[in-house]
Structure formats: C-alpha cells, structure tokens
Amino acid sequence: MKVLLVQTSPNTDGLTGSMALRAMEGAESQGAQTELVHLCRLRIGACQACDNGWGRCAREGLCSQEDAFQGLRDRMHAAQAFVLSTPVYFGEVSESAKSFLDRLRRCEWFIRDTSPLRRVPAVGIAAAGGSGGGTVSAMADLERYFSHLHMPLFDLLPVTQRSREYQLQSAFAAGAALVAYARRQFGG
C-alpha cells in the first residue's frame, strides 16, 4: 500500500508540514509505504493555457511544459492513497498547490474515465496560521479540485494554530483510517 503525501508550504516544519508528517505517521502505523513530497522544492510552473487553452492536455492527457509536474503526476498515479496539506493563503490553497492542481486537473479531465486517480482516495488538509481564518474556503477549494480529478474524497481537515494539538492527533488518525479504507476498497 503506497500513500503519497504532498505538503505545499515553503516552511517544512510549520503547521502545514507538521500535519502532513502526522498523517504520514498514521499511514505508516498501518504498514503503508509512504512518500512525502515538499512541493515548493520542485519546479512546477503555472498552466500556460497552450493552444487557446486546450492543447496537449486535451488531446493526449499530457502537459506540454517540461518541469517536475509529470514526475509528480506519475507518482500520484502509482499511489493507492493521497494526502495534500496546504497552508491557507488569503482564504485559498497555496500558490504552489494551485499551480500543480490546475495543471493536473486539465490533464486528468480528458482521461477521467480511465485515470488511475479515480481509485485514489484523498485527504485534504487546510492549515491556517496567523488569524486562523480562511480554512473553510480553502477546504472548499480542495473539495472542488478532488471532485474535478474524480478522486474519492476521504476527509478534509481544517487546522489553525489554536486547534493544532488536537488536529495533529486527527491527522494521525486520518492517515491510519485512509490506509484502512484504501485496503478495504482496493485491496493490498
């Protein structure tokens, strides 16, 4: 059982990263093989809307840009479960998360009936530092992205600095439960 976790904060040991690590530990407690990706360490550009907005992604389900996008997408396709942990910026997912998810959504949309992601349950984590505002709208963003990707939504976790301690426990529990669910649904 392979679980891919992507954390999208440049601050790897902050709230967003801590939540991803706890989810990873929860998955590992159930015997899952895990991989944690720090998205801000990869070079993934924004969608260029090639060929009037629907280029190679619409024709072939592939992106024309040559950067780290396709490698991460391939790792998602190979996973049996997925966790995305994003900081909340201005009530939305992070810019790095948007860049990756926008391109992924375009490429997956046209292969949605055969995409390996249709079987990959997902957990979304929205981590709001500072004022703690914006988690609800950021979680709505995550729900919409997972829906466009036709990924089964397993859970969404909001966290603020004030709820950090008990939500770290929730992230561990979500990682463990995600693996148990994926095993029941898909075997392995």
Number of domains in the chain: 1
Residue 101 vs residues 7, 39, 69, 89, 147: alpha-carbon distances, Å = 13, 11, 10, 15, 12
For the record, the structure tokens of 155 come out as 């859970």
CA 117 to CA 84: how far, in whole Å? 14
* pLDDT digits 0-9 by tens, 128-165: 988 889 999 999 999 999 999 999 999 999 999 999 99
Cα–chain center distance at 149: 11
The residue-averaged pLDDT of 53-59 equals 83
Query: In terms of residue numbers, what domain contains 97?
Result: 2-186
Whether residue 188 is predicted with pLDDT greater than 70 in this model: the reply is no
Whether residue 171 is predicted with pLDDT greater than 90 in this model: the reply is yes
> What's the CATH number where 127 sits?
3.40.50.360
